[in-house]
A and B are shown apart, each in its own frame.
Chain A
Amino acid sequence: MTTQPAYTSSPASVAGVAAPIARKGGVRIKDVVKRYGTQDAGVLAVDHCTFDVPAGEITVVVGPSGCGKTTLLNAIAGFHSLTSGTIYLDNEMLCGPGKLKAEPGPDRIVVFQNGALFPWKTNIENVAFGPIMQGQMTRKEALEKARDKMADAGLRGIENNYPGEISSGVRRRVEIVRALMTDPKILLLDEPYRALDSLTKSVMHEALLEIFYKNRVTIFFITHDLEEAIFLGHRVVIMTTRPCKPKKILDIDIPHPRDYNVLTTKRFREFMDETAAAVHEEATKAFAAGEKER
């Protein structure tokens, strides 16, 4: 990268940048409870969960499979309702008392675990889908913008292929570009790299960071991979096994921009050491409880 991204994690250096970009997409999760089924026979997925997703940062939620992390994400996205509690987006209530289910909207775009590019649309049609749907621009303009954005992300030459014709790593990148097309306040990534091999994963991580530095969109990232969490996150929220609530919240003070050299630094190791035990403990509990992969 020739131009240094204007973003670093310490507020002091942000002040030095000429035109600070207004941070948006801060989410506050407050006392959120989600119970599937009835009071007696239901399953408590999320139990009085409270934490903040700071605007303009990457917050990574780590927890054992099936712990209820995705439930939180679905509540923010507006796919599922809460049982009680409140979720705010930039200090406005998304869902809460009186309105337990948020409306899905282009300000909160989900990148799904197994990908949700429409297989019947070419990659560029997928990327242009949002702006066309919202009537923001004509089809031609949307396709032009999509082409530019894809080129920006290094995705030239696959515009007219179908998603089924490209590798799953590239698919995931196309999907993130599609998510950014509507200028969301926050990206919700639900274990997007779960199915990828570790080498592809490392490429994906750097690509995601690069996109983040360019767009400075708030990212809410779910994973069960601790290394991934510490490498990407400004903030790592370690969840208990079901019912899920924060067990430990860490602010990762490794400066951004980060690249893969971070993985071998002492500070990174320290964070790993500090959290590994906590994650392992929850994973053991989840295993003992027989949680199923979902």
Chain B
Amino acid sequence: MSVLSKWSFKVSSFVFGEDFWRGIVAIIVFLLFWELGSRSEALFGFAFPWVGQIPAPSAVLKEIYRLIQEPSFWHSGYLSTRRVLEGFFAAMLVGIPLGLAMAVSRTFYGITFPVFEVLRPIPPLAWVPAAIIFWPTQELSIAFVTFLGAFFTIVINVIGGAKSIDVRYFQAARSMGSSTFDIFRRIILPGVLPSIVVGATVGIGITWAVVVAAEMISGGGSAGSMGGAAGGGLGFFIWNSYVGGSYTQIVAGMISIGIAGYMSSAILRKIGQLLTPWLVEG
């Protein structure tokens, strides 16, 4: 089967599959309940707890429609995305070699692991005040906190992945005449790759969680200079909406973060599948 027909087969089996419709129905039912709940005061004379206080999906949708025509909203999204990518790539760039070095060298592991393990449980958000003091610009401090969000996950995954490579692969490679460098390149690297993919997928999710919180706490960095309240990233956008009392805008901001996070993970999963073709079923 050609790649294209395989792909279209996948798409069609997805669109017409049971799971797809189950998902659609679930989302519709969810939205319906939400809509009902939000209108509960008008419809039933009393507000449902919790859901009665939040704006209805129809209002949120209208707000999203309005927002996507506003450049400042896109700019917020752009700022957050940029920070996520900066932090994420920095974490990959530092984390993968560090994890590999820790997995390969017992001495290096012995030196670094205790420090690593003391720093690892500190939540990235606890770093925010320190980061603001350490780094010259607010932008850098947000990027740094974002970096921390993905960094520890990636390192731990690389170490775990390298250590779980079956010893038989090393023995077999050694028997067949591989040098130490060959073993690193042809056994350890491909052996660790699936764990790197997992670490990256989980890591970028954490990165989104962290960037939004960091933006809320730090006031969104360049908010002042970027013209308008919505210039400081999606986190700041939500916070600002809260301060301004625009509840539909809060929910719209939340949903856009959800979508952005989902898309990042989906893209990484796809890249991961391409990098590790031997793990794909069939």
Query: Which A residues fall within an 8 A CB radius of B?
Result: 77-79, 104-106, 108-110, 112, 114, 116, 118-121, 129-130, 133-134, 162-165, 182
Complex interface: chain A residues within 8 A of B277 (CB) = 162
Neighbouring B residues of A112 by C-beta, 8 Å: 168, 171-172
A79 surroundings in chain B (CB, below 8 A): 171
- CA A121 to CA B187, docked complex, whole Å: 10
CB distance from A124 to the nearest CB of B (A): 13
Known: A162-B277, A164-B278. A120 touches B175 (CB 8 A): no
Partner of B187, one of A78, A118, A162: A118
Give A116 to B191 CA distance when docked, in angstroms: 13
Assuming the contacts A120-B276, A133-B182, asked whether A110 and B177 have C-beta atoms less than 8 A apart, the reply is: no
Chain B interface residues toward A at CB < 8 A: 166, 168-169, 171-179, 182, 186-187, 190-191, 193, 276-279, 282
Q: Whose C-beta in chain B lies nearest to the C-beta of A79?
A: B171
Chain B residues whose CB sits within 8 angstroms of the CB of A129 once the complex forms: 173, 176, 186
Find chain A residues with CB under 8 A from B174 CB. 78, 104
Ordered by A's residue number, 16 sampled pairs between the chains whose C-beta atoms are within 8 Å are A77-B175, A78-B175, A104-B171, A105-B175, A106-B177, A108-B175, A112-B172, A116-B166, A116-B168, A116-B172, A120-B193, A120-B278, A129-B176, A162-B277, A182-B176, A182-B177
Closest to A163 in B: B278
Give the CA-CA distance A87 to B281 in the complex, in Å. Answer: 45
- Not counting A112-B168, A130-B177, a sample of 8 additional A-B residue pairs whose C-beta atoms are within 8 angstroms of each other reads A109-B176, A110-B171, A110-B172, A112-B171, A129-B186, A162-B277, A162-B278, A182-B176
Inter-subunit contact B176/A130 (CB<8 Å): yes
Contact assessment for B175 and A109 in the assembled complex, using a CB-CB cutoff below 8 Å: yes
A120 partner residues in chain B, CB cutoff 8 A: 190-191, 193, 276, 278
Cα A284 to Cα B157 in complex, Å, equals 44
Give bound CA distance, A23 to B184, whole Å. 36
Output the least CB separation between B274 and chain A (Å). 13
A133 and B178 contacting across the interface, CB-CB below 8 Å: yes
Quick check: B169 and A116 within 8 Å, CB to CB? Answer: yes
Q: List chain B residues, Cβ under 8 A from A109.
A: 175-176
Contact B175 A104 (CB under 8 A): yes
Count of inter-chain pairs, beta carbons less than 8 A: 63
CA distance A108 to B176 in the complex (A): 9
Q: How distant is B56 from chain A, measured CB to nearest CB, in Å?
A: 49
How far does the alpha carbon of A129 sit from the alpha carbon of B279 in the complex, in Å?
Answer: 20
The answer to whether B168 and A133 touch across the interface, beta carbons within 8 angstroms, is: no
How far is it, in angstroms, between the C-alpha of A164 and the C-alpha of B282 when the chains are bound?
Answer: 9
- B169 x A118 contact (CB < 8 A): yes
Alpha-carbon separation in the docked complex, A119 to B282 (Å): 14
Cβ-closest chain A residue relative to B277: A162
Residues B177 and A114 in contact, CB atoms below 8 Å apart = no
Instruction: Tell me how far the C-beta of B231 lies from the nearest C-beta in chain A, rounded to whole angstroms.
Output: 46
Q: Out of B168, B179, B278, B282, name the residue touching A114 (CB < 8 Å).
A: B168
Give the complex CA separation of A121 and B171 in angstroms: 16
* B175–A106 touching, CB < 8 Å: yes
Contacts of A163 in B (CB 8 A): 278
**Residue in A closest to B179 when the chains form the complex, CB atoms:** A133
Q: Are A119 and B176 in contact (CB under 8 A)?
A: no
Q: Determine the distance from Cα of A129 to Cα of B4 in the docked complex, in whole angstroms.
A: 32
| CA gap between A194 and B182 in the complex, in Å | 31
- Asked if B190 contacts A134 (CB within 8 A), the reply is no
A173 to chain B, nearest CB (A): 16
Q: Which residue of B lies closest to A110 (CB)?
A: B175
6 interchain residue pairs of minimum CB distance: A130-B176, A120-B190, A116-B168, A134-B177, A162-B278, A116-B172
* Distance between Cα atoms of A121 and B278 in the complex (Å): 8
Please indicate the chain B residues that have their CB under 8 angstroms from the CB of A182 in the complex.
176-177
Query: How far, in angstroms, from A124 to B206 measured CA to CA in the complex?
Result: 40
Q: Which residues of A contact B172 (CB under 8 A)?
A: 110, 112, 116, 118
Q: State the Cβ distance, B109 to closest chain A Cβ, in Å.
A: 23
In the complex the two chains form, what is the Cα distance from A275 to B277 in whole Å?
48
Expressed in whole angstroms, the Cα–Cα distance for A292 and B35 within the complex equals: 62
B177 and A133: CB pair below 8 A?
yes
- Distance of A41 Cα from B200 Cα, bound (Å): 45
* Complex alpha-carbon distance, A121 and B186, angstroms: 9
| A77→B156 CA distance, assembly (Å) | 33
Nearest-Cβ distance from residue B4 to partner chain A, whole angstroms: 19
Bound together, the chains give a CA A121 to CA B190 distance in angstroms of: 9
Contacting residues, chain A, for B168 (C-beta < 8 A): 112, 114, 116
CB distance from B198 to the nearest CB of A (A): 15
A78, A119, A165: which has the most chain B beta carbons within 10 Å?
A119
Closest to B190 in A: A120
The residues of A that contact B279 with a CB separation of less than 8 Å are 164
